[in-house]
Chain A
């Protein structure tokens, strides 16, 4: 250190204004680092070219990204709803599968029905199933202060085993083989139509995700419920003083989060390319959705945008498979890396350079703490 730099020092502070700026810069930086690492890591070929072609560089690439992003939008929104209250719905994956289960059951039972009424019933069933799957964690969190992180997660494993039971037992497709357990295809009339805009095929999943995001934004900005959530999300105690029934609100919001998870399941099953109740329906879509919501800072509109970016990351990872890069590296490794980098970037905003000797006045900042940036503990 030179003599001049001695008048500066790094100071640590508990509040971190401009955290969004820090986070976004970190995400961009992380993506850059990942790209360079991948290019350096592969022995031959041009990774950039491949990635570009598999994502935004071709019509097929764009369609691919949209298809990967569609389920992430809704699962991301499901996670974002809980984050608004400082809660973590790690159970989106389970709600996703339970939603698909309920919808598939309805479709098999009432396959004589025409498409639209059957689809409406399936969607209602899935939303209900997702909410019910959240009931125990929600009540336990609100009334017993049990960490919803662990309870929702445990139910994911239960849901996976439940799926395996139905797909190997009662609903078994005699033709399904190997590691993927699947039921027969759903009735043809339950397949959601696809839109074509400017020559690009867009699944209805994207549309549902966008509409849900707008709807949630409107609810949370304009309604009393939204006001209550914002208040309690900023400070539970302030909410209680304002006369808000915090526990009931927590249960409501968590159930809504679970319902969105169920919606994601049925949307992906009827709107995606799989169209059956199967273990391959989700490639940890629920978990990736949480990452999407966190990266978006819990904003609903931001979540839809971030779903597209993460969809592109996954597509990029898949495109490198031929170069001896596993698809898991893109799907989990890169997502996790970006998430960690974003968190560290945001953490950097705790530090600042200050000139020594000049006393900083204590400032009271009123930026609302959210679950993501909070350095507070979680209930255990």
Chain B
């Protein structure tokens, strides 16, 4: 079925927002336990490379996806080791992780760059729902990972807000000393959730190399990880709002596509700036709202602060 331009743009917004949704969910999980990982761009690249290699070597998409998640988790646990166990500065370590990811992903993916994915992420057209007029084709004819990404924030929300363990997680991010006093294993959970978040970030990378572009290229994430960080802030650390943020930023990226299709007379470079300018604007507007209320930010209170027992 031929789609109208606006339908196609919305569809693209969802597709382009999907990796952001994975990445932002992973980052949120880490930030909820108080660890601020600015290196997720590197984790994402590692996921993209590992996912592609896993898929290519096994000709099996499931193995590809799993390798991306495992690689993302392992790579992030390196960061967790530095920041949670050795209490290093999170900005420095995150920055190092990013550089390391840039270099390592390029190196391990070297032999795989000019290959097309033999078994990419398949499209799953949801029966019945896809026949809904107008919206059916926009919402229900996606790669299956798109639906998975959509579900992730709901799972996070349920765990964080509706379970006993979620309360512990939030306590670790808000007041680790108090959490520790009540017997919550702060260091263990921090380590675990930073790694688990890394798995989600890795999936975000694999969605690119196995889903949308179906090939691995060097530095293919081109800043998406960093936008993921901004989406977490945009969402005010609330899982369900990640969905809005991710698709909104996906929409900004989709505008480039729409402009090309419609032959708008705007240089594509300026449209390419939009997601980044949008992020900047979101950060500024968000801060402006809280300007007279210091401490009113929705960020976990212990975000970015190393935990020492008794001080």
- Distance in angstroms from B98 CB to nearest chain A CB is 7
A324 to B107 Cα, complex, angstroms? 9
Within 8 A of A (CB), among B161-180: none
* Closest residue of A by beta carbon distance from B298: A380
Q: A294-B95, A331-B103, A333-B104 are in contact. Are A158 and B89 (CB under 8 A)?
A: no
A343 to B273 Cα, complex, angstroms? 33
- Determine the chain A residues whose CB is within 8 A of the CB of B92 once the complex forms: 294, 339, 343, 372
* Closest residue of B by beta carbon distance from A157: B276
- Distance in angstroms from A211 CB to nearest chain B CB is 27
A143 to B287 Cα, complex, angstroms? 10
The contact of B95 among A147, A164, A291, A337, by CB within 8 Å, is: A291
B197 at the interface (CB under 8 A from A): no
Q: A146-B287, A149-B38 are in contact. Are A324 and B110 (CB under 8 A)?
A: yes
Within 8 A of B (CB), among A138-173: 140, 143-147, 149-151, 153-155, 157-158, 161-162, 164-165, 168-169
A344 at the interface (CB under 8 A from B): yes
Q: A328-B102, A380-B299 are in contact. Are A169 and B267 (CB under 8 A)?
A: yes
- Determine the chain B residues whose CB is within 8 A of the CB of A247 once the complex forms: none
| Contact across chains for A165 and B103 when beta carbons are under 8 A apart | no
* Closest residue of A by beta carbon distance from B86: A347
- Determine the chain A residues whose CB is within 8 A of the CB of B210 once the complex forms: none
- Determine the chain B residues whose CB is within 8 A of the CB of A147 once the complex forms: 283
B255 at the interface (CB under 8 A from A): no
| Contact across chains for B106 and A291 when beta carbons are under 8 A apart | no
| Contact across chains for B277 and A149 when beta carbons are under 8 A apart | no
- Distance in angstroms from B224 CB to nearest chain A CB is 11
Q: A294-B95, A350-B86 are in contact. Are A150 and B104 (CB under 8 A)?
A: no
| Contact across chains for B283 and A333 when beta carbons are under 8 A apart | no
The contact of B96 among A161, A326, A339, by CB within 8 Å, is: A339
Within 8 A of A (CB), among B83-120: 85-93, 95-104, 106-107, 110
A36 at the interface (CB under 8 A from B): no
A67 at the interface (CB under 8 A from B): no
- Distance in angstroms from B65 CB to nearest chain A CB is 25
Surface stretch bound by A, among B66-74, B146-154, B198-206, B225-233: B225-233
| Contact across chains for A335 and B99 when beta carbons are under 8 A apart | yes
Max chain B C-beta neighbours (<10 A), residue from A13, A147, A334:
A147
B36 at the interface (CB under 8 A from A): yes
A138 to B280 Cα, complex, angstroms? 13
| Contact across chains for B99 and A339 when beta carbons are under 8 A apart | yes
The contact of A162 among B104, B269, B288, B302, by CB within 8 Å, is: B269
A377 to B299 Cα, complex, angstroms? 11
Within 8 A of B (CB), among A1-59: 12-14
A165 to B107 Cα, complex, angstroms? 30
| Contact across chains for A336 and B97 when beta carbons are under 8 A apart | yes
B303 at the interface (CB under 8 A from A): yes
| Contact across chains for A344 and B88 when beta carbons are under 8 A apart | yes
B78 at the interface (CB under 8 A from A): yes
Q: A165-B270, A291-B99, A336-B98 are in contact. Are A346 and B288 (CB under 8 A)?
A: no
| Contact across chains for B304 and A378 when beta carbons are under 8 A apart | yes
A135 at the interface (CB under 8 A from B): no
A88 at the interface (CB under 8 A from B): yes
The interface residues of chain B, by DSSP majority, are classed as helix
A223 at the interface (CB under 8 A from B): no
A122 at the interface (CB under 8 A from B): no
| Contact across chains for B82 and A343 when beta carbons are under 8 A apart | yes
- Determine the chain A residues whose CB is within 8 A of the CB of B297 once the complex forms: 380
- Determine the chain B residues whose CB is within 8 A of the CB of A273 once the complex forms: none
- Determine the chain B residues whose CB is within 8 A of the CB of A344 once the complex forms: 81-82, 86, 88
A211 to B89 Cα, complex, angstroms? 30
A334 to B104 Cα, complex, angstroms? 9
A85 at the interface (CB under 8 A from B): no
* Closest residue of A by beta carbon distance from B237: A380
* Closest residue of A by beta carbon distance from B101: A336
Q: A150-B230, A347-B86 are in contact. Are A336 and B107 (CB under 8 A)?
A: no
| Contact across chains for B99 and A287 when beta carbons are under 8 A apart | yes
Residue positions of A touching B, CB distance < 8 A: 12-14, 88, 90, 136, 140, 143-147, 149-151, 153-155, 157-158, 161-162, 164-165, 168-169, 284, 287-288, 290-291, 294, 324-326, 328-337, 339-340, 343-344, 346-348, 350, 371-378, 380
Closest 9 CB pairs between A and B? A333-B103, A347-B86, A336-B99, A377-B304, A336-B100, A332-B103, A375-B306, A339-B96, A165-B269
Not counting A291-B96, A332-B100, A344-B88, a sample of 17 additional A-B residue pairs whose C-beta atoms are within 8 angstroms of each other reads A136-B280, A146-B283, A150-B233, A154-B226, A158-B280, A326-B110, A329-B107, A336-B95, A340-B78, A340-B97, A343-B88, A350-B86, A373-B89, A374-B89, A378-B304, A380-B36, A380-B233
A-B residue pairs in contact (CB < 8 Å), sample of 30: A12-B308, A12-B309, A88-B91, A144-B287, A146-B283, A147-B283, A150-B226, A150-B279, A150-B283, A154-B230, A154-B279, A154-B283, A157-B223, A158-B273, A162-B273, A165-B270, A290-B95, A291-B95, A294-B92, A329-B106, A333-B104, A335-B99, A339-B95, A343-B92, A343-B93, A344-B86, A347-B87, A376-B304, A378-B91, A380-B233
